[in-house]
């Protein structure tokens, strides 16, 4: 078991000496941004021109669903949100610190990406995880 | 290249048949389609079989073990909810190519109840409810809310789709349900993923549908031209690259591309279509496809449902079968069941839900966000 929380997805990096961040892979030819490592760009087809880029933590709400029924054991309701980051990447995640009520959610609202424990979820080895969440940016 | 015709087509009444096997369910529709044109399994030169749940289970061959082991070519197809349309298209392709002049396509599915989809999986911890939701009602809620973001489409407009399709299904004896659901009932039924309530989610059912496809020469030889349905276009697309692909399955781009290619192949425009059976896996999805299929200008979808244009009796009736929302959605069968529905209207045999004077119809299915099948059908008289 690890002493430190593990990243919830492989595109989250947790440096020993610094803040966690999300890493994108950006095509050197067409600037398309991907989550997770890859060598070929599915937009333009160029090979071996991927570079890494630290994703922005600022963005705006593009779309959402308010989930009232999920699989057993998953706490509801929650907001499943799609956020366009300022650097052109798009992420999906839980939007927190907003009431799960369509009246309280505005398209385009400024969002920030924050990092916190993965709702207490642990894997079969007992490891805890660091996740990312969206919250309104003031 | 020869033209290809649907000469026989049918579907079973959708329902739940846990006591039957998948091949048994598929066989029923095939026998009905053969009876529809008076042919037998011995007249068939190939079988294209669509099924998802047992994709590696040689369902097509097992169907022939039920109804006649004639030794013909069998191709088993899986392409998410576009499976049936893909099987039909493979059959059409073979006839167009001149390889065969009389073939069968079948789509069959046996489903469980409950939610489909889910985020994550693999090692580590569950991502569902942590990094958003991968459940299908949520994914299609997000697709609908993208439309709301762009065009101001409302919860009530999405809900009206469900009212309409449930109403249509009261006239379809082969639909899973025949129940009127007024707007308040739809909007107040259990919220699954806003804006999709329970009555705005398609029904998981078992079902099958089948079609016999012949070349023009064969159709004439058999004397079947008077009820034959000409396939004016058959198009299959995958999802072109889009900037939000990684987190939002994109049902729009593959549909727009398929619609454009289908209208081109048929030499027709959206204004020539008399009825449409489209992929209303969720009420939100139907709204998107009014725009995507060119039934209105972009963003006009909300007004189309408000004005009743897409209801039976309207300018361009959509899902008069009851759609996936009420007829039911047996994944692999859906793409041929909608060909049955349109063909039945073109033949003037749709009873109480008949679209009067229908001559040309369009069918559309989506396999998640990554496959789209469109067929344009015409009754040649
Ligand atoms: Zn590129």
pLDDT 10s digits, A22-61:
999 999 999 999 998 999 999 999 999 999 999 999 999 9
B59-117: pLDDT as tens digits:
999 999 999 999 999 999 999 999 999 999 999 999 999 999 999 999 999 997 666 66
Higher pLDDT pick, B122 / A122: A122
HEC string for A99-121 = CCCHHHCCCCCEEEEEEEEEEEE
Q: How many CB atoms lie within 10 A of CB B256?
A: 20
Nearest alpha-carbon partner for A88 in A28, A33, A21, A27: A33
Place of tokens 């961040």: A21
Interface touch B129/A92, C-beta < 8 Å:
no
Higher pLDDT pick, A2 / A32: A32
Place of tokens 């289908």: B262
Cβ-nearest to B138 among A42, A65, A93: A65
* B115: contact with A, CB 8 A cutoff: yes
Sort A38 into a burial class: Cβ within 10 Å, 0-12 / 13-18 / 19+: exposed
% helix / strand / coil in chain A, to the nearest 5? 0, 50, 50
B149-160: pLDDT as tens digits:
999 999 999 999
Compute the distance between CA of residue A98 and CA of residue A48 in angstroms, rounded to an integer. Answer: 41
Q: What is the pLDDT of residue A3?
A: 84
Nearest alpha-carbon partner for B199 in B167, B244, B241, B151: B167
A88-113: pLDDT as tens digits:
999 999 999 999 999 999 999 999 99
| Least Cα separation, residue B72 to chain A (angstroms) | 39
Contacts of B128 in chain A (CB under 8 A): 70-71, 74
Report residue B338: phi and psi, to 5°.
Answer: -75, -25
Instruction: Give just the sign of the alpha carbon dihedral B238, B119, B334, B67.
Output: positive
Compute the distance between CA of residue B183 and CA of residue B96 in angstroms, rounded to an integer. Answer: 45
B302-326: pLDDT as tens digits:
999 999 999 999 999 999 999 999 9
**pLDDT average, residue stretch B108-135:** 80
Contacts of B248 in chain A (CB under 8 A): 63, 82, 90, 92
Q: What is the pLDDT of residue B97?
A: 97
What are B168's two structure tokens?
């249509």
* Ligand 1 midpoint to CA A28 (Å): 7
* B148: contact with A, CB 8 A cutoff: yes
**pLDDT average, residue stretch B148-173:** 98
Interface touch A82/B132, C-beta < 8 Å:
yes
% helix / strand / coil in chain B, to the nearest 5? 40, 20, 40
Compute the distance between CA of residue B113 and CA of residue B176 in angstroms, rounded to an integer. Answer: 14
Nearest alpha-carbon partner for B231 in B370, B61, B105, B72: B105
Contacts of A75 in chain B (CB under 8 A): 129
* Ligand 1 midpoint to CA A38 (Å): 11
Compute the distance between CA of residue B43 and CA of residue B329 in angstroms, rounded to an integer. Answer: 30
* B136: contact with A, CB 8 A cutoff: no
Residue B70 is inside which H or E element, if any? Answer: none
Q: What is the pLDDT of residue B101?
A: 98
Contacts of B196 in chain A (CB under 8 A): 65
Interface touch B142/A121, C-beta < 8 Å:
no
Percent of chain B with pLDDT over 90: 94
Interface touch B155/A102, C-beta < 8 Å:
yes
Three-state secondary-structure class, residue A130: strand
Q: What is the pLDDT of residue B368?
A: 85
What are B345's two structure tokens?
């209207």
* Ligand 1 midpoint to CA A49 (Å): 8
Interface touch B146/A8, C-beta < 8 Å:
no
Residue B160 is inside which H or E element, if any? Answer: helix B155-169
Cβ-nearest to B129 among A66, A75, A84: A75
Q: What is the pLDDT of residue A25?
A: 96
pLDDT over 90 at B118, yes or no: no
Domains and CATH numbers, chain B: 4-112+203-379 (3.40.47.10)
Annotated active-site residue B279? The verdict is: no
Compute the distance between CA of residue A131 and CA of residue B166 in angstroms, rounded to an integer. Answer: 42
Compute the distance between CA of residue B116 and CA of residue B134 in angstroms, rounded to an integer. Answer: 9
The mean-pLDDT minimum among B18-22, B110-114, B367-371 falls in: B110-114
Q: What is the pLDDT of residue B122?
A: 52
**pLDDT average, residue stretch B173-192:** 98
Report residue A62: phi and psi, to 5°.
Answer: -100, -45
Percent of chain B with pLDDT over 70: 97
HSE value, Cβ hemisphere, 13 Å, CA-based, for B363 = 32
Nearest alpha-carbon partner for B135 in A72, A8, A123, A133: A72
Interface touch B145/A92, C-beta < 8 Å:
no
Per-residue exposure over B170-186, b if at least 16 CB sit within 10 Å of its own CB, e if not? bbbebbbbbeebeeebb
Assign B121 a pLDDT band (cuts: 50, 70, 90). Answer: very low
* Nearest residue of chain A to residue B146 (CA atoms): A63
Cβ-nearest to A121 among B118, B130, B195: B130
* Ligand 1 midpoint to CA A114 (Å): 29
Q: What is the pLDDT of residue A138?
A: 81
Evaluate whether A43 touches A37 at the Cβ level (below 8 Å).
Answer: no
Q: How many CB atoms lie within 10 A of CB B152?
A: 11
Q: Best interface-test mutation with B: which of A61, A70, A131 has the largest number of B CBs within 10 A?
A: A70
DSSP state letters, B165-204: HHHHHTT-TTSS------HHHHHHSPEEEETEEGGGB---
Q: What is the pLDDT of residue B380?
A: 86
pTM (2 d.p.): 0.95
Cβ-nearest to B247 among A32, A91, A123: A91
**pLDDT average, residue stretch A109-136:** 97
Q: Based on C-alpha coordinates, what's the Rg of chain B?
A: 20
DSSP assigned state of B229: E
pLDDT over 70 at B120, yes or no: no
């Amino acid at each position: 078991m690890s002493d430190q929380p593990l990243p919830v997805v492989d595109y989250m990096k947790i440096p020993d000496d610094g803040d966690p961040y999300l890493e994108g892979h950006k095509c050197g030819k067409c600037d398309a941004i991907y989550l997770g490592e890859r060598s070929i760009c599915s937009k333009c087809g160029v090979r071996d021109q991927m570079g890494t880029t630290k994703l922005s933590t600022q963005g705006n709400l593009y779309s959402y669903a308010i989930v009232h029924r999920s699989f057993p054991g998953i706490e509801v309701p929650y907001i499943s949100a799609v956020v366009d980051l300022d650097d052109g990447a798009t992420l999906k995640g839980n939007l927190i610190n907003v009431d799960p009520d369509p009246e309280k959610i505005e398209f385009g609202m400024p969002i920030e990406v924050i990092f916190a424990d993965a709702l207490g979820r642990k894997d079969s080895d007992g490891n805890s995880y660091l996740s990312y969440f969206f919250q309104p940016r003031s | 290249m020869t033209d290809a015709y649907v000469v026989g087509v049918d579907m079973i009444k959708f329902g739940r048949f846990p006591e039957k096997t998948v091949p048994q369910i598929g066989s029923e529709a095939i026998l009905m389609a053969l009876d529809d044109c008076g042919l037998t399994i011995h007249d068939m030169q190939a079988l294209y079989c669509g099924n998802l749940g047992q994709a590696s289970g040689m369902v097509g061959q097992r169907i022939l073990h039920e109804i006649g082991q004639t030794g013909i070519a069998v191709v088993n197809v899986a392409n998410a909810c576009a499976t049936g349309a893909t099987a039909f298209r493979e059959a059409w392709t073979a006839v167009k190519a001149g390889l065969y002049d009389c073939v069968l396509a079948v789509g069959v599915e046996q489903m469980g109840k409950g939610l489909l989809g889910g985020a994550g999986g693999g090692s580590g911890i569950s991502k569902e409810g942590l990094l958003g939701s991968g459940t299908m009602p949520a994914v299609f809620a997000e697709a609908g809310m993208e439309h709301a973001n762009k065009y101001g489409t409302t919860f009530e407009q999405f809900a009206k789709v469900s009212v309409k399709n449930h109403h249509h299904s009261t006239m379809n004896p082969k639909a899973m349900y025949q129940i009127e659901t007024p707007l308040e009932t739809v909007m107040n039924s259990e919220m699954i993923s806003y804006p999709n309530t329970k009555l705005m989610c398609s029904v998981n059912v078992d079902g099958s549908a089948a079609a016999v496809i012949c070349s023009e020469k064969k159709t004439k030889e058999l004397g079947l031209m008077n009820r034959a349905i000409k396939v004016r276009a058959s198009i299959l697309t995958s999802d072109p690259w889009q900037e939000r692909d990684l987190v939002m399955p994109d049902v729009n781009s593959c549909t727009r591309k398929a619609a454009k290619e289908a209208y081109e192949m048929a030499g027709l425009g959206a204004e020539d279509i008399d009825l449409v059976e489209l992929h209303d896996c969720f009420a939100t999805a139907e709204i998107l496809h009014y725009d995507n299929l060119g039934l209105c200008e972009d963003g006009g979808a909300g007004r189309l449902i408000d004005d009743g244009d897409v209801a039976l009796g309207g300018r361009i009736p959509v899902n008069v079968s009851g759609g996936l929302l009420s007829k039911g959605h047996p994944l692999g069968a859906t793409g041929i069941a909608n060909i049955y529905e349109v063909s039945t209207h073109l033949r003037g045999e749709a009873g109480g839900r008949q679209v009067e004077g229908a001559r040309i119809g369009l069918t559309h299915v989506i396999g998640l966000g990554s496959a789209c099948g469109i067929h344009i059908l015409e009754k040649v008289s």
